[in-house]
Amino acid sequence: MAEDKKPPLLSVQNLIIEFATENGVVRATDNISFDIFANETVGIVGESGCGKTVTGLSILGLIPSPPGRIVGGSITFMGRELVGLPEEEMRKIRGCHISMIFQEPMTALNPVFSIGNQMTDVLIRHHGLTRRQARDSAIEMLAKVGIPAPAKRIDEYPHQLSGGMRQRVMIAMALSCDPKLLIADEPTTALDVTTQAQVLEQISKLQAEFHMAVVLITHDLGVVAETCRRAIVMYCGRIVENASIEHLFASPRHPYAKGLLDSIPQIRSQRLEELPIIPGRVPDLLQLPPGCRFADRCPRADGLCSEQIPKLAPSGTHADRVACHHPYPAVQAGSAS
Amino acid sequence: MSGQDNTALLEVRELKKFFPVRGGLLQRVVTQVRAVDGVSFKIDKGLTLGLVGESGCGKSTLGRAILRLHEPTSGQILIDGQDIVGLPRSRMGEQRRRMQIIFQDPFASLSPRRTVAQIIREPLDVHGIGTAQERERRVIELLADVGMGAEIRDRYPHEFSGGQRQRIGIARALALEPDFIVADEPVSALDVSVQSQVLNLIAELKKKRGIAFLFISHDLAVIQHVSDEIGVMYLGQIVEHATVGDLYSAPKHPYTQALMSAIPVPDPTARRTRIVLEGDVPSPMNPPAGCLFHTRCPQAQDRCRTTVPAMLNVGSETNPHRVACHLQD
Q: Which tens digits make up the pLDDT trace of B218-240?
A: 989 889 989 999 999 999 999 99
- The answer as to whether A299 is a domain residue is no
A195 CB within 8 Å of a chain B CB:
yes
* Tens-digit pLDDT profile for residues A70-97: 999 999 999 999 999 999 999 888 878 9
Nearest to B263 among A193, A272, A278 (CB): A193
Mutate which: B196, B200, B230, B296, vs A, most A CBs within 10 A: B196
- The answer as to whether A323 is a domain residue is no
- The answer as to whether A334 is a domain residue is no
Compute the 3-state secondary structure of chain A and give helix, strand, coil in percent, each to the nearest 5: 35, 25, 40
**How far is residue A49's CA from residue A335's CA, in Å, rounded to a whole number?**
34
The tally of domains found in chain A comes to 1
- The answer as to whether A260 is a domain residue is no
Contact B258 A194 (CB under 8 A): yes
**How far is residue B198's CA from residue B192's CA, in Å, rounded to a whole number?**
10
Amino acid at A113: F
pLDDT of residue B73: 95
Calculate what percentage of chain A has a pLDDT beyond 70: 96
Strand, coil or helix: B276: coil
- The answer as to whether A187 is a domain residue is yes
- Polymer length in residues for chain B: 329
* Nearest Cα residue in chain A from B283: A162
Residues whose CB is less than 8 angstroms from the CB of residue A132 and which lie 6 or more positions away in sequence, other chains included: none
List of chain A residues whose C-beta atoms are within 8 Å of the C-beta of residue B261: 197
- The answer as to whether A311 is a domain residue is no
CATH number at residue A135: 3.40.50.300
ipTM of this complex > 0.85? Answer: no
**How far is residue A324's CA from residue A327's CA, in Å, rounded to a whole number?**
5
Calculate what percentage of chain B has a pLDDT beyond 70: 97
Beta strands in B194-305 (DSSP E): 212-217, 229-234, 237-243
Side-chain half-sphere of A184: how many Cα atoms within 13 Å? 36
Contact A225 B264 (CB under 8 A): yes
Q: Is pLDDT at A166 greater than 50 in this prediction?
A: yes
CB < 8 Å from B in window 305-334 of A:
none
Nearest to B266 among A219, A222, A269 (CB): A222
Q: Is pLDDT at A247 greater than 80 in this prediction?
A: yes
Mutate which: B152, B188, B193, B232, vs A, most A CBs within 10 A: B193
- The answer as to whether A76 is a domain residue is yes
Angle at A312 between CA A307 and CA A317, to 5 degrees: 130
* Tens-digit pLDDT profile for residues A106-127: 778 888 999 999 889 878 887 7
* Nearest Cα residue in chain B from A49: B191
- The answer as to whether A168 is a domain residue is yes
Inter-residue contact B49 to B229 (CB < 8 Å): yes
Overall average pLDDT of the B54-69 stretch: 91
Strands laid side by side in the B212-217 sheet: B99-102, B180-184, B212-217, B48-52, B229-234, B237-243, B322-323, B312-313
Inter-residue contact A103 to A53 (CB < 8 Å): no
CB < 8 Å from B in window 2-61 of A:
47-48
Inter-residue contact A309 to A292 (CB < 8 Å): yes
Q: Which domain holds residue A161?
A: 2-235
List of chain A residues whose C-beta atoms are within 8 Å of the C-beta of residue B262: 193-194, 196-197
Overall average pLDDT of the B196-216 stretch: 92
